[in-house]
Amino acid sequence: MIELVAPLRDGDRRALARLLTAVENERVGVDSALAALFPYTGHAWVIGLTGAPGTGKSSLVTELAKAYRKQGETVAILAVDPTSPFTGGAILGDRIRMRDLSGDKGVFIRSMATRGSLGGLARSTRDAIRVLDAAGFDRVLVETVGAGQSEVDIVRAAYTTVVIEAPGLGDDVQAIKAGILEIADILVVNKADRPGVDSAVKALRAMLELGHPASREQMVAHHGKMMQAEVPTSHHQEIWMPPVIRTVATEGEGIGELLAMIETHRQFLTQADRMQQLEQQHIQMELVDRVREALVKQLFTALPTETLVDVVSQVQSRAIDPQTAVNHLLAFRQVNVAK
Ligand SMILES: Nc1nc2c(ncn2[C@@H]2O[C@H](COP(=O)(O)OP(=O)(O)OP(=O)(O)O)[C@@H](O)[C@H]2O)c(=O)[nH]1
Ligand SMILES: [Mg+2]
């Protein structure tokens, strides 16, 4: 795997594709490749685009990619689907939608679906973004479909997060239910050619005014004490208020405004030390996620099946309670690590 890093850096698309497949399949040896390419990351501007199914994410991504290409920038598109282990219909539709981009060497399109756990997908998305970043793309656009937590987990890797709504989905504002409004840096009401757009914009604005005190900090605070302690609050006097933009992706309307707003947000973050803080938060959250995953794996790898079965039956017979059972399992790990 590690031998793919040099060609990746030289713009070899096959090396890129192979590394992404290795990341997706968690193939042996991919960790050393990721470690080798890590020093080359941190240059691409990562933009997350998320929203309910069919709101027009792929159409917007395509328009954004075209606009960036016009400016001479290279673009990688990563379409992540946490809802399905299959890369079926939606991706096929995307192929057609993104047809305008095919044949352009400055654009790379890749899709990823759930293989195992959602946590696994969040990790492989982060890794895939790093591979694309190290490959030298100026912009990495990450499209995620799903609801609630899955979107939140996946867009955590983005610097600018665009939440996409569309009128007439049965509900004025879908994002509120899913709780994804808190992660939005920019809100887009797409399909502005459809009826109900005004009420959707109004509802979103009202929601934003109600509750958007520094959403990132809230998110970090939710993630545990370690981060709460580490997050400085004094630098957030000037808070970013997410703007609401109307677009008609199919007509290319509002794309210029969206592009400009992404730039404004980027400038906002790169001012002062905001970007360093955001990256620090991302890294901390990622490390917590990875440690959690590694510990669970370590424990269950070391644990004989009989022990687990035994502890389960002890709980079932009311001999011990679940928390005591957990303590037994954790004690088992400590004994084994010490050996
Ligand atoms: N009328 C109208 N239709 C649109 C607009 N944008 C996208 N569409 C259509 O809406 C449908 C869904 O668009 P996509 O871009 O695939 O939406 P998506 O959010 O990527 O969909 P999933 O990835 O399946 O969740 C397609 O038929 C688009 O042509 C718009 O601004 N106005
Ligand atoms: Mg799509």
pLDDT at 319 over 80: yes
CA–CA gap between residue 338 and residue 336 (Å, rounded): 5
Q: Quick check: 11 and 74 in contact, CB under 8 A?
A: no
Ligand 1 contact via 269 beta carbon (within 6 Å)? no
Rounded to whole angstroms, how far apart are CA atoms 66 and 255? 10
* pLDDT(231) > 70: no
Which residue's structure tokens are 């969040």?
122
Q: How far apart are the first and last CA of the chain?
A: 32
Position 152 scores a pLDDT of: 73
Predicted pLDDT of residue 261: 97
Which pLDDT tens digit goes with each residue over 262-303? 999 999 999 888 999 999 999 999 999 899 988 998 898 888
What's residue 11's pLDDT? 94
Kindly report the average pLDDT of the chain as a whole number.
83
Which pLDDT value is given to residue 335? Answer: 62
Check residues 323 and 152 and name the one with the higher pLDDT.
323
Ligand 1 centroid to Cα of residue 192, in Å, is 12
Cross-strand pairs, 187: 163, 244
- pLDDT digits 0-9 by tens, 180-214: 777 889 999 999 999 989 988 888 888 887 765 54
pLDDT score of 81? 77
Q: Is the CB of 249 under 6 A from ligand 1?
A: yes
Q: Is the pLDDT of residue 89 over 50?
A: no
Q: Are 181 and 161 in contact (CB under 8 A)?
A: no
Task: Report residue 157 as tokens.
Answer: 């890797």
Quick one: which of 305, 58, 320 has its CA closest to 164?
Answer: 58
Any ligand 1 atom below 6 A from CB of 246: no
The percentage of the chain sitting over the pLDDT mark of 90, rounded to a whole number, equals 51
* Percent of the chain clearing pLDDT 70 (strictly above): 78
CA 286 to CA 253: how far, in whole Å?
Answer: 36
- What is the DSSP code (8-state) at residue 143? E
The tens digit of pLDDT for each residue in 133-176 reads: 999 999 999 998 766 666 677 778 899 999 999 987 655 555 45
Let me know if 58 is exposed, middle or buried by CB neighbors in 10 A (0-12, 13-18, 19+): buried
Range in 64-73, 98-107, 110-119 the model is least confident about: 110-119
Q: What is the pLDDT of residue 212?
A: 56
Task: Confirm or reject: Cβ of 236 under 6 Å from ligand 1.
Answer: no
Q: Are 121 and 145 in contact (CB under 8 A)?
A: no
Per-residue pLDDT band at 229 (split at 50, 70, 90):
very low
Which neighbouring-strand residues pair with 248? Answer: 253
How high is the pLDDT of residue 2? 92
- The residue among 41, 47, 30, 34 whose CA lies nearest residue 133 is 41
Position 77 pLDDT exceeds 60: yes
Give, as residue ranges, everything with CB less than 5 Å from ion ligand 2: 57-58
Q: What is the SS3 assignment for 85? A: coil
Ligand 1 atom closest to Cα of 253?
31
- pLDDT greater than 50 at residue 228: no
User: What is the 8-class DSSP label of residue 144?
Assistant: E
Lowest mean pLDDT among 20-29, 79-88, 110-119, 323-332: 79-88
**Secondary structure (3-state) at 51:** strand
Smallest CA separation from ligand 1 atom 10, residue: 56
- Residue 226: per-residue pLDDT: 40
Instruction: Please give the number of the atom of ligand 1 that sits closest to the Cα of 61.
Output: 15
111, containing H or E segment: strand 107-113
Q: Cβ distance 197 to 205 under 8 Å?
A: no
C-alpha to C-alpha distance for 233 and 219, rounded to whole angstroms: 13
Cα–Cα distance for residue pair 188/26, rounded to 1 Å:
34
Q: How far is the CA of 21 from the centre of ligand 1 (A)?
A: 27
- Determine which of 14-28, 159-173, 204-218, 314-328 has the lowest per-residue pLDDT on average: 204-218
